[in-house]
Amino acid sequence: MKLNVNQALYTRDALSKALYNRLFDYLVAEEYMAENIKWTPIDYFNNKIVCDLIEQKKPPGIMSMLDDVCATMHAVSEGADKNLLQKLQGLDSEYYIGNDQGFILFHYAGKVDYSIDNFCDKNRDVLFQDLIEMMQTSECDFIRKLFPENLKDAKKGRPTTAGGKIKTQANLLVEKLMQCTPHYIRCIKPNETKKPFDWEENRVVHQIEYLGLKENIRVRRAGFAYRREFLKFMNRYAILTPETWPQWRGDTLRGIKHLMDSVNISPDQFQLGTTKVFIKNPESLFLLEEVRERKFDKYARVIQKAFRKYYAKNQYYKQRLEASDIFLNKKERRTHSLNRNFVGDYIGLDQKPALLALIEKKERIEFAETVTKFDRRFKPMKRDLILTSRHLYLIGREKVKKGPHKGAIIEVVKRKIPLQDIQKIVLSPLQDDMFVIFVQNQYENLLESVFKTELISILKKRYQEKTKRELTVLFNTKLEYNVKKDGWRGGRQKQVEFHTGEGNNALTKIVGKCLHVYIGSGLPSDSRPNMEVSRNKPRNKHIGKSSGRPPPPSSKPPMHKPAPPSSKPPVHAMKGSSKKNMVTDGPKPIKPRKLINNNFMDSAPNGSQKTAAEIENRPPKPRNPPPPSRPQKPKPQMKPPPKPALPTCRCLYRYDPQNTDELAFEEGDIIEIIHEGKLILLPMILYFSSVSR
């Protein structure tokens, strides 16, 4: 119900009474005495006396006298207010002062003036029960809902008054508050303008005084803001120190003192009772909570790091497994590429801005490698293959023929293939690294890539994201493709045939329009990568998600291990490799070469390789003693430079330049004269000499 000013004041007093009772019960002396806690009791104004003065029945209070006067009133209410004032004069209380116009009550917040005018009229409830019964018998449902009173349970007798209803509702509110722990919240109105940064100090002080906040603060300062049982306190804050976590082994009191010392809380800020710990200031409690949150954050980061490592390892294995499934039971695998790490950038694009300038903006680079491209005569040449989210680039080098940069070698885009235009990719079932990219309505390219598994895996994913369909990957021992039209020659069809030979290095033989490739058998086609990842992991993050540009590979000196040269990462070159690798008289065995094996070429360790401990424990090889050193001849001293042959002059005076084209010199400086003339200004060389003046 809506309250007027007097009713609101009465409700406020009753609520304050409940709040202060609960607040003081929070600091009851019995608990402090039971816990042997030293504290200073605070004498504060108990508003219960004023509440009894207003609502008490025996002796009758103000509300009881008001109800009696209203009960004796009839249709005419004239003189009822004066009759009430006369009865109130009989109250014997130091908190009540009567006068001719009303009375004054001394609350906890100060004195409050009450006017007696219309007191009785406002207190009467003229809505009698017969009127309510009449409205409840209405044919309109809405009218009946406006009067939901249950008159059957209502007591017959004196009709209720507004004061009686307020008293009943206030007592019910206090009863509910006593059953719980209320949160004491007060709102202060800083101004009447409803504007920010507008502060009316007198208004704020008045509200603080009449809301009783001063008493509240005094009571709060007298007691302890926080109390908790020993075991619960230890369980909550044991994480603060390694001695108490995960379990404190020792006396509980010593453990609590150890926790307080760890956060530098002084002994006068807390007390230890018989079963509880009491903390005086909220700041000390906030400090404990903040340190606890930081500890949880620290351990949460450790857990997150371990989980990310575990998750990344599984995702990495899943990535290699998906890439391996493309060639499963279709193509033989190489020993050193089955379990190698995926890097993505094998060129180091962050250090090559000229290459990045050729890529369209807002294209994320997925893969970059230097591959071998075979032209129409099967002549190998190097190309930078860069795969982005939308295109496949083949970048080569050309020499500038005209202009100021004539003779310089620059990077140019030889071919730019949209991903949606790629038709299929064809490989051989052997362990070679060659493949052909077929493009719709265009010519094809024969390429050789050491990292073909990673390239095709990434290309297949990006192709599916772009076109919403699978990329076709075929395997055949005989490949046929068309080369680019070259003037009047036109496009020609080329063939590549693969044969099983010896060794892990592909040997080639050109027979007419066909390129024959001979290579030995590799791992079985059903080989799958191991779960164990190489220990020599790349230290750098190769493909950055934020920048969109993959960083260069690690510059750490690689370890030397014997491995097939076909796994060696390519390097940049303008022209293709020489014809030393081309064979015309059939396959011939070649000698294995040593490979500088980078981190991204490491495979999972197996039993045939020696461990680091075996290498370190090998006996050192005998070395020949160094030859005796010979005495070195002293180096001849450098001759002074010859004196200048140009004429010189000695300055007789000091001169400070006035313009930018003038020369500054000091007295005694020697100047070498390059040219003599009247109106011609040419540069001169100035020597600072130590010759006596």
> What is the layout of strands, in order, in the sheet containing 96-98?
96-98, 102-107, 110-115
452 and 554, same structural domain? yes
pLDDT of 151 above 80: no
Q: Which long-range contacts (CB under 8 A, 24 or more apart) does 411-418 make?
A: 411/354, 411/355, 411/358, 411/384, 412/358, 413/358, 414/383, 415/445, 416/391, 416/392, 417/391, 417/392, 417/393, 417/442, 418/390, 418/391
Is 625 within a domain?
A: no
Q: Are 291 and 240 in contact (CB under 8 A)?
A: yes
Q: What backbone torsions phi and psi does residue 153 show, to the nearest 5 degrees?
A: -85, -10
- Answer whether residue 414 is part of any domain: yes
DSSP-derived pairing of the beta strands 493-500 and 507-511: unpaired
pLDDT average, residue stretch 558-573: 40
**Do 360 and 263 share a structural domain?**
no
Is residue 333 domain-shared with residue 312, that is, in the same domain? no
CATH number of domain containing 234: 3.30.70.1590
416 and 510 inside one domain: yes
User: Which domain-ending residue is among 169, 187, 215?
Assistant: 215
CA–CA gap between residue 226 and residue 214 (Å, rounded)? 20
pTM of the model: 0.46
Whole-angstrom Cα distance, residue 222 to residue 24?
Answer: 10
Q: Using pLDDT thresholds of 50, 70 and 90, give the confidence band for residue 545.
A: very low
Looking at 303, 328, 353, the residue that finishes a domain is 328
Q: Which domain holds residue 314?
A: 224-328
Distance CA 457, CA 325 (A): 9
Average pLDDT over residues 536-563: 42
Note whether residue 471 is domain-resident: yes
What count of other Cβ atoms lies within 10 Å of the Cβ of residue 630?
6
DSSP string, 34-80: HTT----------THHHHHHHH-TTTT-HHHHHHHHHHT--S--TTH
Within-domain flag for 22? yes
Q: What is the mean pLDDT of residues 551-556?
A: 42
User: Looking at the structure, do residues 484 and 378 belong to the same domain, yes or no?
Assistant: yes
Are 67 and 199 within one domain?
yes
Average of pLDDT values for 216-234? 80
User: Is residue 109 predicted with pLDDT exceeding 90?
Assistant: no
Work out the pLDDT band at 555, boundaries 50, 70, 90. very low
DSSP-assigned beta bridge partners for residue 685: 672
Structure tokens, 643: 């004196």
Question: What kind and span of H or E run contains 447?
Answer: strand 445-448
In the predicted structure, residue 324 carries a pLDDT above the cut 80: yes
pLDDT at 208 over 80: yes
Gap between the Cα atoms of 199 and 192, Å rounded: 9
Residue 502 within a domain: yes
Question: How high is the mean pLDDT of the chain?
Answer: 77
Residues 592 and 676 in one domain: no
Q: Report d(CA 525, CA 628) in Å as an integer.
A: 60
Same structural domain for residues 16 and 93? yes
pLDDT of 344 above 50: yes
In this structure, are residues 575 and 382 in contact, taking their beta carbons and an 8 Å threshold?
yes
Q: What is the average pLDDT across 226-233?
A: 90
* Domain CATH number, residue 690: 2.30.30.40
Q: Which of 224-238, 372-386, 662-676 has the lowest mean pLDDT?
A: 662-676
For residue 463, tell me if it sits in a domain: yes
Q: Where residue 596 sits, what CATH number does that domain have?
A: 2.30.29.30
Mean pLDDT, residues 454-483: 93
Residue from 205, 207, 202, 201 nearest 12 by CA: 207
User: Residue 22 — pLDDT band, cuts 50, 70, 90?
Assistant: low
The share of the chain scoring above pLDDT 70, in percent, equals 71
Q: For residues 246 and 250, what is the distance between their CA atoms, to the nearest angstrom? A: 13
Q: Which residues contact 133 (CB under 8 A, 6 or more apart)?
A: 151
Distance from C-alpha of 164 to C-alpha of 124, rounded to nearest angstrom: 10
Task: Tell me the pLDDT tens digit for each residue of 387-412.
Answer: 999 999 999 999 998 888 888 999 99
pLDDT for position 626: 54
Residues 322 and 366 in one domain: no
Per the CB < 8 A criterion, the answer to whether 621 and 644 are in contact is no
Residues 335, 472 within the same domain: yes
Q: pLDDT tens-digit profile of 353-370?
A: 999 999 998 899 999 999
Highest mean pLDDT among 12-16, 312-316, 451-455, 602-606: 451-455
Residue in the structure block whose two tokens are 């060659």: 434
CATH of the domain at 112: 1.20.58.530
Of the residues 265, 294, 328, the one at which a domain ends: 328
CB 413 within 8 A of CB 356: no
Instruction: Report pLDDT for 602.
Output: 46
The length of the chain in residues reads 693
Any domain includes 600? yes
Question: Do 340 and 390 fall into the same domain?
Answer: yes
Identify the pLDDT of residue 475. Answer: 95
Q: Which residues have C-beta within 8 Å of that of residue 589, sequence separation ≥ 6?
A: 502, 503
479 and 583 co-located in one domain: yes
Tokens of 31: 């608990």
Structural domain count, the chain: 4
Please name the residue that has the structure tokens 């050491």: 450
The answer to whether the CB of 566 falls within 8 A of the CB of 383 is: no
Task: Give the residue with greater pLDDT, 488 vs 618.
Answer: 488
Start-end of H helices in 179-271: 201-210, 213-222, 230-237, 252-262
Check residue 156 and give its pLDDT: 60
Q: Is residue 173 part of a domain?
A: yes
